[in-house]
C-alpha cells in the first residue's frame, strides 16, 4: 500500500522488493572500461603509467603479496552510493545484486578453489552487525558454486580506520593484523573478497597471511577500485584532501 522509495533517486519503487534501489539505478553501474595494471588492477590515466608488462609504478617498485586483483567498477558515483548503503546503512539485501557484478571477475581470476572474505575485527563487527565482505562472499559462492570459508582468515588485532592514512601508514596499520588457518588454505587457490580496494594494503596483508598458511595463489576481487593510488603525504594533508578509506 505504501511502497518504499529508491534510496538513490527517491522515486517510488514499482513493486515490493527487499532491495531498496530501483532497477534504473542498479542497471547503469558499469565495469571499469579503461586499461588497468595487470597485477593490482589500478586504472591507468594514460599509457605512460604502464610498463611493457602492463604493471603500474607501485607494482614495478614492489610487487604486492597477492597474485592478481580487480575491482568491478570505479569507487565513485552510483556504485560508491550502493556500497555505502550496504556498509553503513545496513541494507544487506543489496549484497545479492552487487555480488552478481563480481561473477565475471571470478572467471578472470584464474583457478579458484575457495572464496574467503576480508574479516572485520570483533568490535567493528559487533557495532555494524555484519561484515559486508562476508555477505558478498557468501552470495558469490551461491552464484558460482565455489566453496566459501569465512573462518579461513581472521583479524587478530584491531586496526585504525584507513581513512586519511598514506600508503606507508596503511601498510603499517594492517601489518600482521591477519592470521590464516593452515588446514583450510594449504595448497588451494584462494579468492579474497572485499568491498573496496584503495591502495591494496589490506588485501596484501591478508594475502601474506594466506600464503604463510600454504595458499598456492591469492587473487582479490572487490566491488570497487579507487582510480589512483594515494600519495605518501602527511596524514593531515590526506584527510584535508578527502582521501577515501
Residue 11 lies in a domain: no
Instruction: Give the pLDDT of residue 51.
Output: 61
Residue 182 lies in a domain: yes
Give the pTM. Answer: 0.86
Task: Name every residue whose Cβ is closer than 8 Å to that of residue 77 and which is 6 or more positions away in sequence.
Answer: none
Enumerate residue ranges in the chain where pLDDT < 50. 230-245
User: How many other β-carbons are positioned within 10 Å of the β-carbon of residue 103?
Assistant: 14
- The CA distance from 123 to 191, in Å, is 25
CA 193, distance to chain mean position in Å, is: 6
Residue 8 lies in a domain: no
Instruction: Give the pLDDT of residue 79.
Output: 95
Residue 14 lies in a domain: no
Beta strands 178-180 and 189-197, pairing class: unpaired
Q: CA 112, 73, 160, 184: dihedral to nearest 10 degrees?
A: -10
CATH number for 86: 3.40.50.2020
Residue 143 lies in a domain: yes
Do 219 and 190 meet the contact criterion of CB atoms below 8 Å apart?
yes
Give the chain's domain count: 1
Helix (H, G, I), strand (E, B) or coil at 204: helix
- The CA distance from 106 to 112, in Å, is 8
* Structural domain containing residue 63: 33-240
Residue 245 lies in a domain: no
Instruction: Give the pLDDT of residue 231.
Output: 43
Instruction: Give the side-chain half-sphere CA count within 13 A for 187.
Output: 1
Amino acid at each position: 500500500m505504501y511502497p518504499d522509495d529508491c534510496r538513490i533517486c527517491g522515486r517510488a519503487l514499482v513493486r515490493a522488493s527487499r532491495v531498496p534501489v530501483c532497477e534504473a539505478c542498479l542497471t547503469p553501474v558499469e565495469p571499469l572500461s579503461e586499461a588497468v595494471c595487470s597485477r593490482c588492477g589500478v586504472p591507468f590515466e594514460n599509457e605512460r603509467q604502464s610498463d611493457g608488462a602492463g604493471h603500474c609504478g607501485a607494482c614495478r617498485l614492489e610487487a604486492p603479496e597477492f597474485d592478481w586483483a580487480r575491482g568491478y567498477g570505479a569507487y565513485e558515483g552510483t556504485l560508491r552510493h550502493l556500497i555505502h548503503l550496504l556498509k553503513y546503512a545496513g541494507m544487506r539485501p543489496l549484497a545479492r545484486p552487487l555480488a552478481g557484478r563480481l561473477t565475471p571477475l571470478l572467471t578472470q581470476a584464474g583457478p579458484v578453489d575457495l572464496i574467503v572474505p576480508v574479516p572485520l575485527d570483533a568490535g567493528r563487527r559487533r557495532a555494524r552487525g555484519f561484515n559486508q565482505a562476508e555477505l558478498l562472499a557468501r552470495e558469490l559462492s551461491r552464484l558460482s558454486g565455489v566453496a566459501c570459508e569465512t573462518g579461513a582468515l581472521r583479524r587478530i588485532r584491531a586496526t585504525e580506520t584507513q581513512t586519511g592514512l598514506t600508503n606507508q601508514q596503511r601498510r603499517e596499520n594492517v601489518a600482521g593484523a591477519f592470521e590464516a588457518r593452515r588446514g583450510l588454505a594449504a595448497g588451494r587457490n584462494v579468492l579474497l573478497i572485499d568491498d573496496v580496494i584503495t591502495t591494496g594494503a589490506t588485501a596484501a596483508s591478508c594475502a601474506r597471511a594466506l600464503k604463510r598458511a600454504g595458499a598456492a595463489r591469492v587473487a582479490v576481487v572487490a566491488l570497487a577500485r579507487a582510480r589512483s593510488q594515494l600519495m605518501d603525504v602527511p596524514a593531515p594533508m590526506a584527510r584535508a584532501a578527502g582521501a577515501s578509506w
